[in-house]
Amino acid sequence: MAADPQASADTGTRAILRRARLPLVAAPMLLVSGPELVIAACRAGVFGSFPTANCREEGRLDEWLRRIGEECAETPDAAPCVPNLIVHRSNPRLRQDLEVIIRHRPAAVITSVGSPAAVAPALRDAGIQVWCDVATVHHAQRAADAGADGLILLTAGAGGQTGNANPFAFVRAVRERFDGIIALSGGQADGAALLAAQALGCDLGYMGTRFIATREARAEARYKDLIVESELDDIHLTNALSGLETNLLRRSLLAQGLDPAEFGIGPKRFSMTALEGREGGAPKRWRDIWSAGHSVSGVRDVPSVAELVDRLAREYGEAAEAMLALASGVRR
């Protein structure tokens, strides 16, 4: 992952950033991100994304990408859609979804849960950038070696499947070695946090939790309300659901009659299979037990995506002005 002096001047790679009003990705969220949310995000001027796993029926991915492309074309300055592809071998639709994506040729694809090595050559041959989410410097190295154009750093506090690295240390460690696009995932809910991510050396912020609580998100009304009502201390970390460390809304566990204390970290973690025999069956991951990140403390309403992005842009501008004023007083 040695820094390449040419990479920082690679206008081909970074040109995509100029297509957004704000340096922000509305993160892909299982069951929550649908075409309505993606289209609204892109039209508002931020990168929209969705997991291809949300397209469960045959032909649905092709339908979504076509609809997103057509409706975003009506807004000349719309930001790109960047679909999210799970590259782990457990994904039975990997090849099928990859073929559909290549036909539509989005500007970039986000790869998750593994190395992008198996898909990066085909995507890049099609002129599609490869952005890979990673949770350690080791995995950042592997993704860069596999040809990733961008890295999404999953840090402590990110919603859903998360990392445990401190964002300050993680970003600086990766930026020292990698001159491609870097996006920061975890803990951001406003424009000031977005500016702070750039001050660290990131090109983009990556917000999921904040976009769950929008009118276009495909989340239940109670899920959105719970995010608004929750604080950072209401987020519970466990690897009981999937074996991967995941941040959940504590009150969604309680609502299912579950004891959060039994959902911990380690090899003796609580097993969801233990609930299969209970009356009504076991609660469904993601559908009945909801995820969110530490940024819930910054979510206090459920606006439209357009209203949210306008607010983020205003906060970003105000934070930039404040930092300029602060910097002007620094002794040199």
Q: What is the CATH number of the domain that holds 75?
A: 3.20.20.70
**Structural domain includes residue 4:** no
Q: Count Cβ atoms within 10 A of the Cβ of residue 56 and give its class: 0-12 exposed, 13-18 middle, 19 or more buried.
A: exposed
The predicted structure's pLDDT at residue 3: 46
**Structural domain includes residue 94:** yes
**Structural domain includes residue 69:** yes
CA distances from 86 to 30, 83, 90, 131 (A): 11, 10, 9, 12
**Structural domain includes residue 104:** yes
Instruction: Taking each helix axis as running N to C, give the angle between helix 94-104 and helix 60-72, from 0 to 180 degrees, rounded to the nearest 10.
Output: 20
The predicted structure's pLDDT at residue 161: 83
**Structural domain includes residue 138:** yes
**Structural domain includes residue 92:** yes
3-state helix, strand, coil in the chain (%, to 5): 45, 15, 40
Each residue of 248-285: pLDDT tens digit? 999 999 998 888 888 777 765 555 655 655 566 667 76
One-letter identity of residue 243? G
In the 8-state DSSP scheme, what is residue 51?
A: B
**Structural domain includes residue 249:** no
CA-nearest of 260, 257, 256 to 289 is 256
In which domain, by residue range, is 151 found? 9-218
Which residues of the chain are under the pLDDT cut of 50?
A: 2-9
The predicted structure's pLDDT at residue 270: 53
Question: What are the φ/ψ torsions at residue 107 (nearest 5 degrees)?
Answer: -65, -35
Contact, 44 vs 21, CB < 8 A? yes
**Structural domain includes residue 298:** no
Question: What are the φ/ψ torsions at residue 168 (nearest 5 degrees)?
Answer: -60, -50
| Count of structural domains within the chain | 1
**Torsion region of 280: left, alpha or beta (phi above 0 gives left; psi -120 to 50 gives alpha):** left
Helices then strands (H, E): number in the chain?
12, 11
Instruction: Dig out the tokens for 283 from the structure.
Output: 């609660």
